[in-house]
Amino acid sequence: MALLVQKFGGTSVGDPDRIREVAEYVARCRRRGDDVVLVVSAMGKETDELLRLADEVADTQPGREMDMLITAGERKAVALVAMALHSAGVEAESFTGSQAGFLTDSAHRNAKIVEVRAHRVRDSVAAGRVPVVAGSQGASGDNEITFLGRGGSDTTAVALAKVLDADACELYTDVSGVFTTDPRITSSARKINRISFDEMLEMTAAGCPKPAMRSVEFAHRHRVPLHVRSAFTWEPGTWVTEEDSEMEDAVIRAVIADQQEAKVTVSGVPDKPGIAANLFRQLANDSVNVDMIVQNASEGGITDISFTVPHADLARALEICQSERAELSAAAVSSEPRIAKVSVVGAGMKSNPGVAATMFETLANNGINIEMISTSAIRISCVIAESDSDRAVQVLHDAFELDKSEF
Ligand code: ADP
Ligand code: ASP
Ligand code: MG
């Protein structure tokens, strides 16, 4: 008999039929003898819809009211799931994040968990019921409702698994696990059976949406084994765990494309100490999240600096660059929103030379121009035109034979 935290994403509870299917599945788990704690996301695209409504009624969106609004999606979903469980013969009770004991800081829209006082959830399990907890939410010290950010339900589930000392944290979604690349885009993508936290973290940093990055960081730090799996076929999925001897060191494990970033170029700046320091300090002071940075070789003491930021930070980054232009003695500031970052990730590249060469040759042979490059010990990322993104993923996936590998 195991204690399982099972988290269901938006598509998994997207309509009444899906909610009934989830309830039947949980009933089967209970009959098998497992204790289950559920974490549920808002149904389907409801979070996007709530954000769109907010855009329609107001230009200024106070964090407090936004969090009250967004968290309503999960609140509705947990009540419906708990009712469906009752109908399936399972005693269940829904909890908001606050009722489940999620204490957070007060950074609205992106709050961090400070502590989980899970006694109500624990009592519920001890009484033979299934607690159904609203994902991605909590309450701050001054008792305001907070939202943990997009994809935060994965983090809710991992945090609960940790405090309850659960046997596993199962993240049910609309694909059957973590794949060698997005299976929606590349039909030859293969499911990865086992992957280490380190590789999974690099994949999420490179733009893989599943599992959410913060949840992987949390799971890694607290050694919570993650099982990413399908809420449609219920087949075994991908285990994300500490690296072990059974894990084959694939040279390349996955190819990831990320279209969430834009490129900013500050051109004609003097090549002298302090310029980059000044620019990136100003960006940091305004919480602009800079990812890749490239500075060209200087010509006549003048150079260009390019960097990438999430689309959401682009307007702010441009404002800062413009206002610092005189201070930086820069000739111009420009931006390119239609870029993609393609990355290859694999722990085996540490001991296998030639991965970068293969990646660059493959892109070159397919006429795809590389605008920026960055690397970590187990990842190589290239910025290319957004219009080349899907093709780049396909040719790299083929070049590294990810369609053939057995993990
Ligand atoms: P949920 O809402 O269930 O939490 P998300 O919609 O956030 O899940 O993420 C699941 C989606 O992630 C899948 O539908 C899939 O298209 C996409 N995805 C992108 N890259 C990958 C990958 N390498 N492996 C698995 N899924 C991926
Ligand atoms: N519903 C929220 C979102 O769409 C939280 C989550 O699903 O994790 O981001
Ligand atoms: Mg989601």
Q: Report whether 251 contacts 352 (CB < 8 A).
A: yes
Grade residue 71 by pLDDT with cuts at 50, 70 and 90. Answer: very high
- 154-175 confidence digits (pLDDT tens): 999 999 999 999 999 999 999 9
Q: Is the pLDDT of residue 72 over 80?
A: yes
- What is the rounded (10 degree) CA torsion for 198, 200, 205, 210? -160
Amino acid at 190: R
Confirm or reject: Cβ of 181 under 6 Å from ligand 2. Answer: no
Return the number of other C-beta atoms located less than 10 Å from residue 198's C-beta. Answer: 17
Amino acid at 370: I
Phi/psi of residue 89, nearest 5 degrees: 85, 20
Q: Report whether 216 contacts 200 (CB < 8 A).
A: yes
Q: Report whether 96 contacts 75 (CB < 8 A).
A: yes
Q: Would you call 241 helix, strand, or coil by DSSP? A: strand
How many angstroms separate the alpha carbon of residue 175 from the centre of ligand 1? 7
Q: Report whether 49 contacts 55 (CB < 8 A).
A: no
Q: Is the pLDDT of residue 28 over 70?
A: yes
Measure the CA–CA gap between 362 and 364, rounded to whole angstroms.
5
Grade residue 196 by pLDDT with cuts at 50, 70 and 90. Answer: very high
Measure the CA–CA gap between 42 and 60, rounded to whole angstroms.
24
- Res 351: pLDDT: 87
302 strand-pairing partners: 270, 299
For 52-74, what is the mean pLDDT? 96
- Residue reference for tokens 């969430």: 260
Q: Is the pLDDT of residue 383 over 90?
A: yes
The tokens describing 229, both together, are 């799996």
The atom of ligand 1 lying closest to the CA of 9 is: 3
Confirm or reject: Cβ of 279 under 6 Å from ligand 1. Answer: no
Q: Which domains does the chain have, with CATH numbers?
A: 3-174 (3.40.1160.10), 269-335 (3.30.70.260)
For 254-263, what is the mean pLDDT? 97
- Res 406: pLDDT: 63
- Res 248: pLDDT: 66
Cα–Cα nearest to 279, from 310, 312, 309: 309
Measure the CA–CA gap between 256 and 202, rounded to whole angstroms.
10
Q: Is the pLDDT of residue 180 over 80?
A: yes
- Res 46: pLDDT: 98
Q: Is the pLDDT of residue 245 over 80?
A: no
Q: Is the pLDDT of residue 247 over 80?
A: no
How many angstroms separate the alpha carbon of residue 111 from the centre of ligand 2? 13
Cα–Cα nearest to 371, from 389, 393, 398: 389
229 strand-pairing partners: 172
- Res 298: pLDDT: 84
Grade residue 258 by pLDDT with cuts at 50, 70 and 90. Answer: very high
Grade residue 353 by pLDDT with cuts at 50, 70 and 90. Answer: confident
Q: Is the pLDDT of residue 339 over 90?
A: yes
List, in sequence order, the alpha helices (H) in 171-262: 197-205, 213-222
- 132-158 confidence digits (pLDDT tens): 999 999 999 999 999 999 999 999 999
- 293-306 confidence digits (pLDDT tens): 999 888 899 999 99
How many angstroms separate the alpha carbon of residue 396 from the centre of ligand 1? 20
Cα–Cα nearest to 233, from 155, 176, 272: 176
- Res 333: pLDDT: 96
Confirm or reject: Cβ of 146 under 6 Å from ligand 2. Answer: no
Q: Is the pLDDT of residue 99 over 90?
A: yes
Q: Is the pLDDT of residue 244 over 90?
A: no
Pocket test for ligand 1, best of 182, 190, 260 (most atoms within 8 A of CB): 182
- 220-239 confidence digits (pLDDT tens): 999 999 999 999 999 999 99
This model's pTM is above 0.85: yes
88 strand-pairing partners: none
